[in-house]
Amino acid sequence: MIYAVFAPLIFAVLIPFLSRWKEKVHTGWLILPVPFAIFLYFLLHVGPNFEPHMQSVNWIPSLDISLSFYLDGLSLLFALLISGIGTLVVLYSIYYLNHKEQLGHFYTYLYIFMTAMLGVVLSDNVFALYAFWEFTSISSFLLIGYWHYRERSRYGALKSMLITILGGFSLLAGILLLTIVTGTTSIREMVGQADVIVDSHYFPFILTFLLLGAFTKSAQFPFHIWLPDAMEAPTPVSAYLHSATMVKAGIYLMARFSPIFAGDPNFFFILSLFGIVTLVWGSYMAVRQTDLKGILAYSTISQLGMIMAMLGFGTDVALFAAVFHILNHATFKGSLFMVAGIVDHETGTRDIRKLGGLMTFMPISFTLMIFGTFSMAGVPLPFLNGFYSKEMFFDATLVNSATSPFLEAFVVALPILAVVGSIFTFIYSMYLFFGTFTGKYKEEELPQKPHEAPKMMLLPPFILVLGVITIGLFPEVFNQSLITHAADAVFGAENNQDIYFWHGLVPAFYMSIAVVVLGILLYLTKSKWEGIYSVLPGRLSFNRVYDWLIEMIEKVSNKITTSYMTGSLRFYMVLLLTAIFAITLGVLLKTNGINFEVTDVAPITTQELIVATIMAIAAIATIFVHNRIAVILIVGVVGYGLAILFVFYRAPDLALTQLIVETVTVVLFMLCFYHLPNLKKSTTPLFTKGINIIISVGFGLLLMVIGVSAYNSRAFDSISEYFIENADPLAGGYNMVNVILVDFRGIDTLFEVAVLFGAALAIIAMIKLRRDKGAK
């Protein structure tokens, strides 16, 4: 199983080599076998006798992070969708993208996504799940921005990334809290401690964080705004990531954790509320779109809302229907995206106002689209899978028990909202279908003369439509071998439901009929009531909020940055020194580090005092003298003074070195200063001068305090004894300082030499090598 997850990633490494021959063989053909093999591997597990199993590899054992892959019914369903639709999408993309595109990039991103998504649905370890989760966001970003030269693509990519990564962080916070509360990183063990989690103080935070993660990923209202913009991605990507798999990661998360949250009534309420609002709003907005993919994007949003709402209901029927609909939605929406891509490919436009009457030109696409749209609309026909799950959804909205008056009102409103959302779903499905394929053919509006797509391009949507029909005709086959297992995993117990076409004259049936009848009526009169969109949403839009936020963030961060990145060296110095000063003094005071009791000091001698006085005067004089030669000589005085002090303090090597270095430095100063202008009398304002003085004096005093305090506090004995004793026996030298430098700490000295060498090279480069030969 671990190989299945990482196979795409491993093959992604080979893609750059394969794409070299893309002129001869489309890269897609070469890598098509990978997802197909994974699909077959997972298909082997399908069957009525499926048993969950686990495989684990240590990753970071010290943090209790492992790559443990747990395959249960839910994971299996998702893994099949990811690899199965992945295979079809790769096949489809071979015809969708021609070999002039950067195929290597495309397939690399796609394979990264495949591994990441498989990792999300199979990981039992929450941190591994989080890592894979973020990888799906990143690969989604890369794929949306695939045509990076388009401004809308970049905008959409950034938007999706910002929103989903925000959710990702929230998810991380949530799982950290979960880990703290339960003391385990395994999801299954967490489910075992469900009551501990629900009773903990952190529970409201855990719930909020995880919900936020799921809602942003699965494009729930009001975070849905990134999904329509994500449609700038190539159509295979839209079909794959933004309808069948990645956007369902949030749903997966909720399904995975629902056994934990089921104990909390708020979970039911929040999830159902957001789900149902997303369902209604998404389908309502979809009717208004003119872009084929725009319709499908809002349609995806609304369908995701529907699944989310069902997870919220939490009853056995609802959870079963949710799982069932995940499968159904992937099949019919995947095929619809692919057909929309074909229409775009063959006519050159996706604007539904320009399309129409394509039935005679593209009969196969037309046929495929019938099944997709009618299944999505929930038309009661026995060979459309969409109807089955929709009817179960209606059924699920009816069986809720309320605990408070407020919830009671909500429960009454649920079926009504469900019907309203489904009516709009019906309308846009019909609009999508009839608007594209029937009506007047507008030849002059189309950039290309339409004709049917190549057969192989029609194959992937055909297979998906075949899935729609098969599930519709033989639902029990899929139920027993796959859906039941997934529903069991979500429900946390045996969850066996029978899927019927004919339920009898139950309320859900009347709801379906109402949807169809009202849907047809409203579709036929669409032009009369379309004005409503100027009232709602009108100018209200979450996109405006997003754009405003982004603009504000850019403005504010720009302001903050320019406020301290002034380009003035002095200003930086002031900031740095003040910060060091404040922090050091703060720590000193806090730890009572200041200590003026001095014992055990060397006696004071006159010679030393004289030298010290001269040095102090010279150092201060550098500030007031404005003659450059004088300044250089004064600095020299300080240096030579230091050398004399070294002699007093029994450091002959230091004194020698200091003498030589000081001499060379003074000569260098002279050489350079000869070319530099004379020092000017300081013209700085008094205020600046004052600050300079305060900082310098303050710093001097601080160092004094630290020095005296440090002198008196020795935490441990010096290690010098070792060097003193071993200089001769171990290193064979009599000068201990030299022995330390070249023997005990030889490598340090080597690096020191390297630094000098680097400085010397840089100096030569600056003096000898000039790019601007003409300049002085």
Partner 1 sequence: MEIIMTGLASILFGAGIYNLLQKQLLRIVVGTVLVSHGAHLYFLTMAQLKRGAPPLVVDGVTEYTDPLPQALVLTAIVIAFGVTSFLLVLAYRTYTVNETDNMEELRGSDHE
Between the alpha carbon of residue 402 and those of residues 268, 289, 409, 410, the distances in Å are 11, 37, 9, 9
Residues 546-575 contacting partner 1, CB under 8 A: 562, 566-570, 573-574
The structure tokens 């893994």 sit at 79
Secondary structure class of 186 (helix, strand, coil): strand
Q: Shortest gap between Cβ of 638 and partner 1 (angstroms)?
A: 6
Using the minimum distance from each CB to partner 1, give the nearer residue, 6 or 673. Answer: 673
Using the minimum distance from each CB to partner 1, give the nearer residue, 560 or 609. Answer: 609
DSSP letters for 664-720:
HHHHHHHHHHHHSPPPPPP---HHHHHHHHHHHHHHHHHHHHHHHHHHH--SS--SH
Residues 281-340 contacting partner 1, CB under 8 A: none
Using the minimum distance from each CB to partner 1, give the nearer residue, 290 or 562. Answer: 562
Q: Are 478 and 395 in contact (CB under 8 A)?
A: no
Q: Shortest gap between Cβ of 646 and partner 1 (angstroms)?
A: 8
**Three-state SS sequence of 497-560:** CCCCCCCCCCHHHHHHHHHHHHHHHHHHCHHHHCCHHHHCCCCCCHHHHHHHHHHHHHHHHHHH
Q: Which two tokens stand for residue 460?
A: 């992937």
> Does 598 engage in binding with partner 1 (CB under 8 A)?
yes
Backbone angles phi, psi at 66, to 5 degrees: -135, 160
Using the minimum distance from each CB to partner 1, give the nearer residue, 539 or 650. Answer: 650
The site string for partner 1 over 148-187 (x = CB under 8 A, - otherwise) reads ----------------------------------------
Tell me how crowded residue 15 is: count the other CB atoms within 10 A of its CB.
Answer: 21
Using the minimum distance from each CB to partner 1, give the nearer residue, 588 or 612. Answer: 612
Using the minimum distance from each CB to partner 1, give the nearer residue, 525 or 696. Answer: 696
Q: Shortest gap between Cβ of 768 and partner 1 (angstroms)?
A: 11
Secondary structure class of 615 (helix, strand, coil): helix
> Does 477 engage in binding with partner 1 (CB under 8 A)?
no
Tell me how crowded residue 487 is: count the other CB atoms within 10 A of its CB.
Answer: 27
Which residue in the set 194, 254, 417, 727 belongs to the binding site for partner 1 (CB under 8 A)?
727
Q: Shortest gap between Cβ of 549 and partner 1 (angstroms)?
A: 24
Residues 624-683 contacting partner 1, CB under 8 A: 628, 631, 635, 638-639, 642, 645-646, 648-654, 657-658, 661, 664-665, 668-669, 672-673, 675-677, 679-680, 682
Q: Shortest gap between Cβ of 607 and partner 1 (angstroms)?
A: 11
Backbone angles phi, psi at 626, to 5 degrees: -115, 0
Residue count of the chain: 776
For partner 1, how many residues bind (rule: CB under 8 A)? 99
Using the minimum distance from each CB to partner 1, give the nearer residue, 370 or 614. Answer: 614
Backbone angles phi, psi at 55, to 5 degrees: -140, 135
Using the minimum distance from each CB to partner 1, give the nearer residue, 193 or 749. Answer: 749
Using the minimum distance from each CB to partner 1, give the nearer residue, 6 or 699. Answer: 699
Query: Residues of 56-72 as b/e, b for ≥16 C-beta within 10 angstroms?
Result: eeeeeeeebbbbbbbbb
Tell me how crowded residue 45 is: count the other CB atoms within 10 A of its CB.
Answer: 20
Residues 223-242 contacting partner 1, CB under 8 A: none
Task: Give the separation between CA 76 and CA 484, rounded to whole angstroms.
Answer: 11
Q: Shortest gap between Cβ of 741 and partner 1 (angstroms)?
A: 5
Using the minimum distance from each CB to partner 1, give the nearer residue, 538 or 567. Answer: 567
Residues 739-768 contacting partner 1, CB under 8 A: 740-741, 745, 748-749, 752, 755-756, 759-760, 762-763, 766-767
Q: Report the amino acid identity of residue 289.
A: Q
Secondary structure class of 125 (helix, strand, coil): strand
Using the minimum distance from each CB to partner 1, give the nearer residue, 434 or 648. Answer: 648
The site string for partner 1 over 678-707 (x = CB under 8 A, - otherwise) reads -xx-x-x-------xx-xxx-xxx-xx--x
Q: Shortest gap between Cβ of 737 and partner 1 (angstroms)?
A: 5
Binding segment for partner 1 among 163-171, 238-246, 547-555, 603-611 (CB under 8 A)?
Answer: 603-611
Which residue in the set 535, 686, 719, 747 belongs to the binding site for partner 1 (CB under 8 A)?
719
Task: Give the separation between CA 364 and CA 352, rounded to whole angstroms.
Answer: 19
Which residue in the set 531, 538, 603, 774 belongs to the binding site for partner 1 (CB under 8 A)?
603
Q: Shortest gap between Cβ of 551 and partner 1 (angstroms)?
A: 19
Closest CA to 193 of 259, 129, 250: 259
Binding segment for partner 1 among 120-128, 421-429, 459-467, 601-609 (CB under 8 A)?
Answer: 601-609
The site string for partner 1 over 53-92 (x = CB under 8 A, - otherwise) reads ----------------------------------------
Binding segment for partner 1 among 42-50, 143-151, 312-320, 732-740 (CB under 8 A)?
Answer: 732-740
Task: Give the separation between CA 753 and CA 772, rounded to whole angstroms.
Answer: 31
Which residue in the set 535, 602, 686, 747 belongs to the binding site for partner 1 (CB under 8 A)?
602
Between the alpha carbon of residue 726 and those of residues 458, 605, 718, 745, the distances in Å are 84, 33, 15, 13
Task: Give the gyration radius of the chain's Cα atoms.
Answer: 37
Using the minimum distance from each CB to partner 1, give the nearer residue, 521 or 573. Answer: 573
Which residue in the set 37, 191, 198, 577 belongs to the binding site for partner 1 (CB under 8 A)?
577
Using the minimum distance from each CB to partner 1, give the nearer residue, 454 or 700. Answer: 700
Using the minimum distance from each CB to partner 1, give the nearer residue, 51 or 653. Answer: 653
Which residue in the set 505, 536, 715, 775 belongs to the binding site for partner 1 (CB under 8 A)?
775
Which residue in the set 60, 549, 710, 750 belongs to the binding site for partner 1 (CB under 8 A)?
710
Q: Cα 599 from chain centroid?
A: 60
Query: Residues of 614-638 as b/e, b for ≥16 C-beta within 10 angstroms?
Result: ebeebeeeeeebeebeebbebbbbb
Task: Give the separation between CA 285 and CA 302, rounded to whole angstroms.
Answer: 9
Using the minimum distance from each CB to partner 1, give the nearer residue, 583 or 672. Answer: 672
Task: Give the separation between CA 407 and CA 313, rounded to whole angstroms.
Answer: 12
Q: Shortest gap between Cβ of 557 and partner 1 (angstroms)?
A: 16
